[in-house]
Amino acid sequence: MRTTLFPEGFVWGVSTSAFQIEGATDRDGRGPSIWDAFAGGAYGDPACDHYLRHADDVRLMQDLGIAAYRFSVSWPRVLPEGHGRVNGPGLDFYDRLVDELLEAGIAPYATLYHWDLPQALQDGGGWTSRDTAHHFAVYARVVYDRIGDRVDTWFTFNEPWVAAFLGHASGVHAPGRRSASDAFVSAHHMLLAHGLGLEALRERGAARAGVVLNLSPVLTPAQLGDMSLDIPEEDAEAVARIDTLHNRQFLEPVLRGRYPAELLPLIEKAAGLGHIRDGDLDLIGRPIDLLGVNYYTPIAVQAQPSAPADPAFPGSEGVLFCSVPTAVTAMGWPIMPSGLSLVLRRLSEEYPETELMITENGADFEDVVTGDGIHDVDRISFVEEHLRALRTSIDEGARVRGYLLWSLLDCVEWADGYRRKFGIVHVDFTTQRRLPKDSALWYRDVIKRNGLGAERPKRPTLETVAARAGVSRATVSRVVNGEARVSPDVRAAVLRAVQELGYVPNAAARSLVTRRTDSVALVLSVPRHGGEALTSAVVQYVTSVLEGAGKRITLMLADTAESHRRIVRHVEARQVDGVVLVPPDGPDTLTERLTRTGVPVVLLGKPAIASLVPHVDVDNAGGARAATRHLLDRGRRRIGVICGPTDLVAVKDRLDGHLATLHEEGLRPMIALAGPDDGESGAAAARELLSGGQAPDAVFAVSDELAIGALRAAREMGLRVPEDLAVVGFGDIHAASCTTPPLTTVRVPAADQALALARLLLSRLDGRHTSPVVLPTRLVVRATT
């Protein structure tokens, strides 16, 4: 059989990190880390119980033929206070682990920092303190002195961008700070710690040392499909700025000993430059032996002047972060293997002297444990396609010496806890039982042959499902295609077999019995909360994506009882393969009637019964929280809310988010109910609030239309905005930027909703498991606050 072989001596392995797998957070003298504090003890222990089960895990790696294991050392396990007292039992654990790896023929690769800073150091300022970088160097020496005689390859840091900007700017990772200044200062001190740690390792005699960076190609949506396209100057600037913030901020100091010139004004604006001292960059830029590359997904951006900065990218004002129109993992990360080729090509061209290793690459997918294993075909396909991209890059000259898959075990996925499944080995977190998935056995074969087989992994077939369910192939096809003429018992048996086997119908199976029309109904109800822009985006993007997938679009208007009956008859007659439904704001019977037809339906907006049908929604509660928090952070304490009809699910969610945020601050709500979603209704509700006994100093309206009415009422009553009254809306309709003064509001991603709708329907038509999609909203700060 033909194979795609890798170079002789290519290193195959896996990666993990201490906090994600070790557990034993209070055992044998380990001190608390920032992740223990951030998670509140919710999932750091027992994790995968690797601290006690490491010998079994090493044997498991040996059975899979793993040649290299990248693990991280827990700083608080070695130095519970971050410096000073050394914890002997903690070092003993890594001593045993290294010996067991070597005895099993597995090369140990040690990472010194994978985000678990000792809480004692955080209490003293954490990475915003320069002292932490010097403590890191001492820590590096302590660890090397114990296991350096047996560990040849060392990495100082794993993904400092994540630790600095998700931990200190957006606050979604530990330590949960939300300060652009802290993020830039922390990033520099981590780079300084890398330089000091590298120096410490070199002094002790380390054979090979480097750092691990998470790198992503930054492209416009148009370039995702065609890299040769010329893009407008403003888009090129947006791409360059995000590339500087995400990639070059770390590549240039480490590999060139300097910061990009374009970065320094962004740092200076947010944090000043006083933390960057003479000699720092010379130390940071000392030569490394190996650059670890973690690749998962690309970043897509384009210029949009009104866009606020993304919290994780301070300095990104005027840049819109876009969705990528491709298949995604269970985490929603776009799958683009060619992105790995772009990263490696760029590194080879710009830093040709640097030796590379893929230190993380993998994917989260929904796994189903069956009686005969876990058939994770999607994960196998993901890794295989990235390995093919990697092999192409090596042929083009990329100096890549190995591939370490993320991850060996299902583990704690940081702020997502135990929900995510990146491992090639399943872990039952109740019993700690390990079960290799099909991907582990497939990877074992890749390692054994030092390459990929010519044959792709085989998916469960229609015949396999039929045999498992004890029915005919035709019956299976009827069930997976939503045919109504199958008994409930038989349908249940087939669906159970489909789930157990992880079966994904292909085009031939779908058309075996049922006739495919390759048509999709796009059903629009009017009026629609969210305005014409959302409806227009749905028509434009849903049509574009589905037509690109070979579907014909039938546009149908659902505005009368008769039109509802006509649409249901059309769908029941199987004149379409699926339905994209934009329901009305008020009472809706059409959704339920369409779901009973058995034809795949996807819905814009969360239905009253959320489990009724797969749907795409935005984080209405989160957007309201951000708006309310914004007002609170500006000293507003008497915040009124203008609320539209609470029988609308979106309005209720926005109200809930607002009230929850006030409750956290111990504040009482001030609610004015509005009638129709228009300016006059908003003005009337605002007058009611402003005429009360304790007038508000801020108003949050659950729609821009209501907020615009509140602005009018404020002017009529002689109030200045924002001096006397701050106003925030929701929706970012076109008029929001044209009010006087311009309206602060919450942007709802119209195009992203439309793209997600199209993808969700395509997933349903392909027979894949689908779950609701909830997209983030974004606060747009303008003059009204």
Helices (H) and strands (E) in the chain — how many of each? 31, 27
For the residues of 360-403, what is the DSSP string, one character each? Answer: E---------BTTB---HHHHHHHHHHHHHHHHHHHTT--EEEE
Structure tokens at 400: 């890549």
Structure tokens at 465: 């499902």
Comparing C-alpha atoms, which of 108, 121, 34 is closest to residue 72? 108
Residue 500 phi, psi dihedral angles, 5° rounding: -65, -40
Structure tokens at 146: 């114990």
Catalytic one among 22, 100, 159, 500? 159
Q: State whether residue 775 is helix, strand or coil.
A: strand
User: Other C-beta atoms within 10 Å of 693: how many?
Assistant: 4
Q: Which helix (H) or strand (E) holds 512?
A: none
Residues 6+ apart with CB under 8 A from 75: 33, 82, 112, 113, 116, 117, 118, 139
User: Other C-beta atoms within 10 Å of 124: how many?
Assistant: 16
How far apart, in whole angstroms, are the C-alpha atoms of residue 221 and residue 236? 12
Comparing C-alpha atoms, which of 139, 190, 125 is closest to residue 164? 190
How far apart, in whole angstroms, are the C-alpha atoms of residue 641 and residue 700? 5
The answer to whether residues 380 and 367 touch, using CB atoms and an 8 Å cutoff, is no
Structure tokens at 175: 């330590």
How far apart, in whole angstroms, are the C-alpha atoms of residue 206 and residue 648? 63
Torsional class of 574: left (φ above 0), alpha (ψ -120 to 50), beta (otherwise): left
Q: How far is CA 660 from CA 310, 311, 624, 629, in A?
A: 24, 22, 10, 11
Residue 387 phi, psi dihedral angles, 5° rounding: -70, -35
Torsional class of 536: left (φ above 0), alpha (ψ -120 to 50), beta (otherwise): alpha
Structure tokens at 490: 């038989």
SS (H, E, C) 133-166: HHHHHHHHHHHHHHHCCCCCEEEEEECHHHHHHH
Structure tokens at 737: 């930027």
Q: How far apart are the first and last CA of the chain?
A: 67
Catalytic one among 360, 384, 500, 705? 360
For the residues of 13-73, what is the DSSP string, one character each? Answer: EEE--HHHH---TTSTTPPPBHHHHHHTTSSSSSTT-HHHHHHHHHHHHHHHT--EEEEE-
For the residues of 565-602, what is the DSSP string, one character each? Answer: HHHHHHHHTT--SEEEEE--SS--SHHHHHHTTTS-EE
Q: State whether residue 604 is helix, strand or coil.
A: strand
Q: Which helix (H) or strand (E) holds 440?
A: helix 438-449
How far apart, in whole angstroms, are the C-alpha atoms of residue 391 and residue 341? 9
Q: Is 159 a catalytic residue?
A: yes
The answer to whether residues 360 and 15 touch, using CB atoms and an 8 Å cutoff, is yes
How far apart, in whole angstroms, are the C-alpha atoms of residue 593 and residue 522? 16
Beta sheet of 299-303, edge-to-edge order: 218-219, 299-303, 319-322
Q: State whether residue 750 is helix, strand or coil.
A: helix
Q: Is 360 a catalytic residue?
A: yes
Residue indicated by tokens 């678990």: 116
HSE on the CB side for 307, CA within 13 Å?
A: 22
How far apart, in whole angstroms, are the C-alpha atoms of residue 428 and residue 435? 8
- Catalytic positions: 159, 360
